[in-house]
Chain A
Amino acid sequence: MKTSFAIAAIAVLLSCSVWAAPNVIKPHHVEALGSDMNCRTCHTTKGKFQRPDAQTCIDCHGGMADIPTQPNRWDKNPHNSHHYEDLLECTVCHSEHKASKPLCVDCHVVEFPNLK
């Protein structure tokens, strides 16, 4: 256990630079803010990159309750469901470096064509 762990650690450390390489910023952010939207705009903690907490997004966008989504024929409001209301972090559904995936589809028939 301990050995495989150490090996894994070294492998990761060696490939450290690879971490940053594929992290492309999404077009909607680049188009709106240009170079003002750089890695450190969202990754505000010093040192290593971590998944930003919801407050980072909220500082610019406001909370889920302030962002209306389009009504749809499945009556699904991802920003205000009765299960979770606005308790979820933005990154539960919105990703920055990969395709976003709405939590609701785990259990419901629904499509969100506008999800970015």
Chain B
Amino acid sequence: MKRREFITRSIGVTAAMTLPFSAKADTSVKHWDREYDLVIVGSGFAGLSAAYSANKAGLKNILVIEKMMAWGGASAICGGIACMPNTPLQKKHGIEDSPELLVKDMLKVGHKFNHLALAETMATQAYTAYDMMIECGVEFKDKLLRLGSHSAPRGHIPVGASGGAIVVPMHKYLLKKGVQFQNRTNVSSILRDKDNGISGVEVQTDFEHTSGEFRNEFSYKSRHGVVIATGGWGSDKQFIKTTMPSYADLRSTAQSGATAGMIKSLLSIGSLPVMLDMYQLGPWGSPDERPAGPGAFFADYAFAEGIAVDPMTGKRFSNELASRRDRSEAQMVVMEQGTKDKPNYPFTFCSEETTTRAEGFHAAYRDGAVFKTNSIAELAEFHGVKNVTALTQSIADWNKIVKGAVDPYNKPLDVRTELKAPFYSFRLSPVLHYCMGGVAITPNAEVIDATTCEPIKGLFAAGEISGGVHGMDRLGGCSSVDGLVFGQIAGRTAANYKANA
């Protein structure tokens, strides 16, 4: 045992970043402290899905490792919206949709940077995500949401309107199946075996994420290779600044554990990176709440049924349901008109009727992120719109579009609601939301080696830590499905790897 009693060693946050996390040659792994059939790193959508399918495939001794004390990473705090084509719920609502149509939408928004085989795998197997969630006891609301740039309403909303309503039932289902969970445990490196395949990980237990302190260090063997499902690194200021300097100052929607430790380990073991400098911006961020708080939910409804306006002109400035990238970039152009002392935040607003169906409205209004105004004049005053006539005209124009006139911005309209006072408005300022890049994987979730462009034996990755599925930009409600589909694939591929081990 290399158990080190009473030793508290600190790798420190900065020290952790500079430590040469590396793939250790087999010689350094003289001793395994524990052995498992499969070690999965990360307890979000992708990690849980891998545990689900590995368990189905017959693996018994499965360990899910989480470095934080709270479970579920981004998955637990996310909106939980999952865009899946051709589900029973879509059929029930008589919605025409298909995996092909979803792929088309993904390629359009991803500017064809998508790895087509991955996008197709996600779309055609989205039904496996639905089936798994239903089996685990996830319940969905009896309605479907059309998110920006989706050509059909296919956004399934879990009851509870949070990713927690997906990961909690899955976690509990897996506990019943005997899957083991271990939190406060950081995985610092990926270990190779004599045959050069991946066969385990090095971990620090009783890991305190804020200080980097831990109690013990162990090597865990994983007989069927290792599944990496560690999500994005949106909280890693240094890594973001280095990969994409112009996003250095953006606020991020990520949880504080979303750091770059694992992408660095993956790179150091020779994984092929894709699009590491590509980040998605969220067009529903606001200076008045935590990035992607409840107001973001509300904003999607205001975007769909109301309009977004530039205070400087009193006019609309974009298709409010364009891709996240287009919308965010349009908002940044509006914001550039402002100064530090006199910022020019664009705002979106809708009628009271819209608020009645908007998840997040109650909370965002309660916490002061959504403001109520009783007339156009009040709305204009609140947001510093000088040209009230232009704002009045913008509202009148929109109401004509609601009645059937042509929209110069071509926004799709599913619900037609007259825009009238009282108005509920929300100030906008884009936030860093998702790491488009990651390690390259095959459609079987095998991580690709940078030197050979072939799969690395025994190394599997799924979810936000992988790159390529969504290309340059991601459709809303598709990251959940990505993790839920590729997580299951990773678990299955791992179970087949060294099947007789």
Contacts and interface: CB of A to CB of B under 8 A. Distances in A.
A48 B367 contact: no
A87 to B, nearest CB: 6
A82 B160 contact: yes
Contacts of A25: none
Interface in A89-111: 89, 92, 103, 106-109
A48 B215 CA distance: 13
B162 A83 contact: yes
B164 interface: yes
A84 B367 CA distance: 22
Interface string B345-386: 000000000000000001100110000000000000000000
Contacts of B206: 51
B9 A83 contact: no
Interface stretch (B105-113, B165-173, B193-201, B331-339): B165-173
Interface in A3-17: 5, 8-9, 12-13, 16
B290 interface: yes
A115 interface: no
Given A84-B70, A108-B290, A9 B7 contact: yes
A82 B165 contact: yes
Contacts of A16: 6
A12 B6 contact: yes
Interface in B28-77: 69-72, 76-77
Interface in B1-37: 4-9
A75 to B, nearest CB: 7
A13 B7 CA distance: 8
Interface string A66-77: 000000011100
A83 B77 contact: yes
Contacts of A48: 5-6
B164 A85 contact: yes
Contact of B367 (A8, A12, A106, A109): A109
B191 to A, nearest CB: 18
Contacts of A85: 164, 168
B7 A84 contact: no
B394 interface: no
A84 B76 contact: yes
A81 interface: yes
A88 interface: yes
A8 B256 contact: no
A87 B6 contact: no
A13 B168 contact: no
A87 B168 contact: yes
A78 to B, nearest CB: 12
A103 B14 CA distance: 24
B256 A106 contact: yes
Contact of A84 (B6, B72, B363): B72
A8 B69 contact: no
A73 B9 CA distance: 42
Interface in B70-87: 70-72, 76-77
Nearest to A51: B206
Nearest to B75: A83
A87 B70 CA distance: 8
A88 B70 contact: yes
Contacts of B161: 82
B162 A74 contact: no
Contacts of B363: 75
Interface string A54-76: 00000000000000000001110
Leading 5 A-B pairs by shortest Cβ distance: A83-B164, A82-B160, A82-B164, A82-B162, A83-B76
9 contacts: A8-B7, A8-B9, A19-B6, A82-B161, A83-B164, A88-B69, A92-B70, A106-B256, A108-B293
Interface of A: 5, 8-9, 12-13, 16, 19, 48, 51, 73-75, 81-85, 87-89, 92, 103, 106-109
